[in-house]
Every structure is written in C-alpha cells, then in structure tokens.
C-alpha cells in the first residue's frame, strides 16, 4: 500500500483549491486535491508541505487532519491522508497539473474527482456540518447550560469554519464565553489553543467591540505563545483593530514581536503577512519605523512566496503614498 497525502486548501474566502490532472496520467483529466506520495523517513505533515511547495509553489498552514481513505485502484492501492490547510497564496504555479480552480464546499459534489478524492470531498463536507447552506440550529438555553468541560470538548473537536461561526454566534449572546475562549487560547493543548483563538477571530469579525477590552492581554501574551496557529489568529485580530487605541507599552511589544516574525526564516507566511500590516499601522503613528519596515519587505521580495511578495508590494505602495503626503504637507 502506498501512503499519499493530499491538501484541502482554503483561501481567505473559505474557498477550496482543486487541481486537474493531465491526459497522460493514471487518472486522465480527473480533478483532485493536490498532494503526493510520502517519502521514506518523512512525516505526513512534512510530505504535504513539500508536495504543495513543489507542485504549486504555495505556502500552506496545516489546520487539521481528516481520517485517511484506503482505496484500491486495481493497479495500485493507496492510503490517502487528507489535511485541512489555509493559505494566503491565491495563484498556484502549476508544475504537474493542467488546470486549477477555487470552489465552495457545496460545489464539490459536482466535480469529476478521482475515486479516492470523491470520498475525501464527502468527508470534508460532512466534517463542516454536511451542508454549506445549512448550519445546525443552537438552542440558547442549551448554550447557557453547557459546562466548561462540554465547551472545551466542543472547541477541541471543531473542524470547520461553520462550527467556529456557531460558537462565535453563541458568544455574542453570552459574553462570558469570550473570557473562556481567551483562556483556552493560552492552553498548552495546541489543538484547543488554536481552535479557541480561531473562534475568537470569528467573534471579532462579527463584533470587534466584544474583543477590544482584551486586546492588551492578547498583545502581552504574544511573545510567550509558541503555537503559530494561535499567533496567527491573534495577529489577524490586532491587524484589523485601531492600533492607536493601544498603549505605548503595547505598541512596543507589537513592534518588537512583528519585526522578529517578519525577519525570521521560520515564521509562517500568514504570520509574516499580518506582522507586515501591523507594523505599517504602527508606522503611521511612529514614522521612524517606515524605513525599517521597507528594508524588511525588500528582503522578502527576493526570498518570500508569491503571496507574501504581493502583500509586500501593497504595503510598500502604501508607505510611498504616506511619505509623499508627509513631504507635501511640510511644503
């Protein structure tokens, strides 16, 4: 049996990436989730990150894993290992496929997939609630009677954006949930930490004012977090806030943390992107940060992914506009 990984890659609009095989392949013109065979002495996670980089020139962040699919094609038997991943890269560079498209989860049932990928698509749709148009209704009284243990279990088992929305909506009616979600975000349990912070990000999208009182605490915890997925959710929240409302102390923490992330060769692409946006916002308050930010972005232009390069160009353009406006105002 051959172990093969595949990636269910989501973009910022929660669309999913599928790719099409060529005519001269074992599954001519069939669509699939991108991935490839696991090499000897390579973990499944290492494999999918490598394969997506080689096949599509994309950076991904692994967010979850579905149960494997075993399928016998006759000429080969595979164990297909699906990962749920996020990316900021919108335009894959096709090295082994002839086409790609982004589609909603509800469209997967109409795609002409290879047989094993059909099962993966069905399981993914099931994992997000069985439908993209219907979300299971929540009884308000049931939410109010949930114990901390039940809430923790619910968050820990969460696999989809729909489930995060479900909990986030509940938090809107029960502000005590916010403090609990924040506490879970600081947990040593990496899965619980990420999913709680991810849900907080959804709460912020619905009502930023509910998260604003906790922003200072979030900023102060950044340097002690070693969970990149949780950092990504927190940095996303901060990047969308009015940073001028934070204290001088918190500005200093953010500048230090974000510059380190931006200049690190090990930070995930999403963390670099959010750090870039945060420093840009700080530079509007502290102009002396602009040159250092420009230098960091320029370094990424030669080494970063297509997605981070595109973000960098946008920020450089904004910095140039601000600089021109300041020069004009001085005349």
User: Domain 140-330 is of which CATH architecture?
Assistant: Alpha Horseshoe (1.25)
- Predicted confidence (pLDDT) at residue 207 exceeds the cutoff of 80: yes
User: Regarding predicted confidence, which is higher, 323 or 264?
Assistant: 264
Give the separation between CA 84 and CA 63, rounded to whole angstroms. 6
Q: Is the pLDDT of residue 155 over 70?
A: yes
pLDDT at 303: 63
Q: pLDDT tens, 99-119? A: 999 998 888 988 999 999 999
Q: Is the pLDDT of residue 78 over 90?
A: yes
Using the predicted structure, report yes or no on whether residue 82 has a pLDDT greater than 90: yes
Q: Is the model's pLDDT at 132 over the cut of 60? A: no
pLDDT of residue 140: 36
Tell me what percent of the residues of the chain surpass a pLDDT of 70: 88
**The pLDDT value given to residue 160:** 58
Q: How confident is the model at residue 300 (pLDDT cuts 50, 70, 90)?
A: confident
Q: In the predicted model, is pLDDT for residue 137 greater than 70?
A: no
Q: What is the pLDDT of residue 329?
A: 67
**How far are the Cα atoms of 108, 289, 312 from residue 275, in angstroms, in the given order?**
34, 13, 11
Residue 253 has pLDDT above 90, yes or no: yes
- Mean pLDDT score, 53-82: 91
pTM of the model: 0.57
| pLDDT mean over 131-149 | 40
Least confident of 139-143, 205-209, 253-257, 315-319: 139-143
CA 108 to CA 18: how far, in whole Å? 9
Confidence of residue 153 (pLDDT cuts 50, 70, 90): confident
pLDDT of residue 251: 96
What pLDDT was estimated at residue 83?
Answer: 94
Q: How many CB atoms lie within 10 A of CB 62?
A: 16
Mean pLDDT for the chain overall = 84
| pLDDT band (50, 70, 90) for residue 190 | confident
Inter-residue contact 5 to 83 (CB < 8 Å): yes
User: What pLDDT score was predicted for residue 91?
Assistant: 82
Q: State residue 144's pLDDT score.
A: 36
Strand locations in 61-147 (E): 61-65, 69-72, 77-86, 99-103
Which of 33, 25, 195 lies closest to 116, judged by CA? 33
Domain edges within the chain: 2-127, 140-330
What CATH number belongs to 2-127? 3.90.79.10
Per-residue confidence (pLDDT) for residue 213, from 0 to 100:
86
- Count CB neighbours of 274 within 10 A: 26
Q: Is 311 left (phi over 0), alpha (psi -120 to 50) or beta?
A: alpha
Which tokens hold the place of 181?
Answer: 């979600």
Q: What is the pLDDT of residue 143?
A: 34
Does pLDDT of 200 surpass 60? yes
Query: Residue 158: its pLDDT value, please?
Result: 59
- What count of Cα atoms within 13 Å lies in the side-chain half-sphere of residue 110? 5
| pLDDT confidence band for 176 (50 / 70 / 90) | confident
pLDDT digits (tens, 9 = 90+) for 218-244: 999 999 988 888 898 999 999 999 999
């Amino acid at each position: 049996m051959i172990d093969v990984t595949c990636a269910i890659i989501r973009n910022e609009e929660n669309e999913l990436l599928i790719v099409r095989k060529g005519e001269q392949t074992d599954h001519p013109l069939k669509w699939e989730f991108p991935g490839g065979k696991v090499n000897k002495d390579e973990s499944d996670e290492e494999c999918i990150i490598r394969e997506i980089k080689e096949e599509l020139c994309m950076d991904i962040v692994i967010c979850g894993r579905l149960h494997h699919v075993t399928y016998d094609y006759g000429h080969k038997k595979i164990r297909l290992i699906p990962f749920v991943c996020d990316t900021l890269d919108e335009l894959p560079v096709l090295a082994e496929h002839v086409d790609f498209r982004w589609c909603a989860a509800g469209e997967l049932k109409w795609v002409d997939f290879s047989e094993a990928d059909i099962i993966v698509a069905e399981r993914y749709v099931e994992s997000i609630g069985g439908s993209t148009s219907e979300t299971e209704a929540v009884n308000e009284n049931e939410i109010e009677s949930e114990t901390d243990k039940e809430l923790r279990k619910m968050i820990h088992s969460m696999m989809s954006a729909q489930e995060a929305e479900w909990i986030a909506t509940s938090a809107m009616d029960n502000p005590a949930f916010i403090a609990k979600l924040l506490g879970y975000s600081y947990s040593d349990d990496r899965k619980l930490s990420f999913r709680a912070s991810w849900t907080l990000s959804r709460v912020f999208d619905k009502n930023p004012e509910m998260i604003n009182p906790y922003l200072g605490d979030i900023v102060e915890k950044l340097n002690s977090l070693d969970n990149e997925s949780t950092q990504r959710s927190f940095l996303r929240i901060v990047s969308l806030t009015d940073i001028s409302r934070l204290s001088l102390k918190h500005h200093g923490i953010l500048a230090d943390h974000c510059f380190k992330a931006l200049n690190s060769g090990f930070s995930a692409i999403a963390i670099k992107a959010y750090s870039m946006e945060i420093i840009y916002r700080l530079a509007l308050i502290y102009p002396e940060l602009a040159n250092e930010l420009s230098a960091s972005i320029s370094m990424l232009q030669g080494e970063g992914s297509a997605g981070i390069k595109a973000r960098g160009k946008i920020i450089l353009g904004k910095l140039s506009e601000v600089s021109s406006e300041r020069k004009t105002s001085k005349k």
